[in-house]
Amino acid sequence: MTTPVMQALHAKYPQAVMDIVTDARAVPLFSHCPYRRELLLKDKQAGWRGLLPLIKQLRTTRYDLAVDLRTDGLTWLLRARRRLGRGLVRADTGHAVERHFAVIRQRERLADIPPPCVWLSAAERDFARQALQELPGRRWLALGPGARWPPKCWPAVRFGGLVRQLQSRFDACVLLGSEADAAACREVADSLPLPCLDLAGRTGLLQATAVLALAQVFVGNDSGLGHLAAAAGTPTVTVFGPGDPRRYHPWHPLARWVQSPTDRIEDVDLAMVTNEVVTLLDSFQDNPAN
């Protein structure tokens, strides 16, 4: 959700390069970014003990612009001609992408928010094509039954029920997730009436994104997969239990969501999720440009 800020700054300063401070989990997402210089790791768990070496490393460069999207004050410890941060703007409401973009919008005189981006190489795209070539047809439904926090996981049996409701609309399913999601994905796969490819634990972030780019729709829990699907240009339906979908739904014009009325994800109605997927599919027929 920070990549629209990066894309806007790159469009304004196409000759500039960027150093990116991130955590280890996100490193692959920036590995093919054409205008990045260095990827610098920040270990939140290490506290000041981990922050001091990072500051020392960053201070070896004098930056033209330092942008803080995390409100941790790090940029004020760097050598920079200009600094922009969330502490300088009022952006407490709206989607996270809008709040991030507010940091640069006024000072950099930028109006439109670019779409999110994940940079893929030919290797990741080839992986996805080869992995999915065994599936019939091209109407593929991607599913993400996992999440890092169990209260965000819609029951696996509901995903199976969703596919049974939609089986005439799709040719096959693809299941994605980490190794921690493998058990949930197996449970879903065993209940599906359509051909299925279970890739749980078998892809990195970029390979998963390349697979999602080939899917017609992604349905999943409130997790990173939905944001990767949106960055790949794939319409999404996200199932929310706890959380704020207005702030954290995937940033895509064809992103839809269903939220539990009780914050318990078990209370999300199967029919409501099915209807959202059907609405998306019908919009493709009404507007072939989608």
pLDDT digits (tens, 9 = 90+) for 129-167: 999 999 999 999 999 999 999 999 999 999 999 999 999
- For residue 288, pLDDT over 60 is answered with no
Judge whether 3-105 and 122-286 match in fold.
yes
- Rounded mean pLDDT of the chain? 93
Instruction: Give residue limits of the domains in the chain.
Output: 3-105, 122-286
- For the segment 268-288, the average pLDDT, to the nearest whole number, is 88
Average pLDDT over residues 41-52: 80
CATH 3.40.50.920 given to domain 3-105: no
Q: Quick one: which of 75, 71, 114 has its CA closest to 89?
A: 71
d(Cα 84, Cα 87) in Å, to the nearest integer?
8
Q: What topology is assigned to 122-286 in CATH?
A: Rossmann fold (3.40.50)
Q: How far is the C-alpha of 219 from the C-alpha of 124, rounded, in Å?
A: 21
Pairing of strands 18-22, 36-41: parallel
> Confidence class of residue 90 from pLDDT cuts 50, 70 and 90?
low
State yes or no: pLDDT of 290 exceeds 90. Answer: no
Report whether 152 contacts 241 (CB < 8 A). yes
Q: By the 8 A CB rule, do 54 and 41 touch?
A: yes
pLDDT > 70 in the chain, percent: 95
Residue 205 has pLDDT above 80, yes or no: yes
The percent of the chain in helix, strand and coil, each rounded to the nearest 5, is 45, 20, 40
pLDDT, position 93 = 67
DSSP string, 160-206: HHHHHHHTTT-SEEEE---GGGHHHHHHHHHT-SS-EEE-TTS--HH
Instruction: Determine the Cα–Cα distance for residues 258 and 138; give it in Å rounded to an integer.
Output: 26
Whole-angstrom Cα distance, residue 85 to residue 69?
A: 6
Name, in order, each residue with C-beta under 8 angstroms of 204's C-beta and a sequence gap of 6 or more.
28
Q: Is 91 a residue whose pLDDT tops 70?
A: no
How high is the pLDDT of residue 16?
Answer: 97
pLDDT value of position 286:
60
Paired tokens of 84: 């922009």
Token reading at 44: 């939140």
Q: Band the pLDDT of 284: cuts 50, 70, 90.
A: confident
pLDDT at 74: 84
Considering only residues 209 and 77, tell me which one the structure prediction assigns the higher pLDDT: 209
pLDDT at 89: 63
Where does the pLDDT of residue 10 fall: very low under 50, low under 70, confident under 90, or very high at 90 and above? Answer: very high
pLDDT given for residue 115 in this prediction: 95
Please state, in angstroms and rounded to a whole number, the distance separating the CA atoms of residues 259 and 238: 8
Evaluate if residue 44 carries a pLDDT over 80. Answer: no
Cβ contacts of 225 within 8 Å, gap of 6 or more? 144, 176, 177, 208, 212, 218
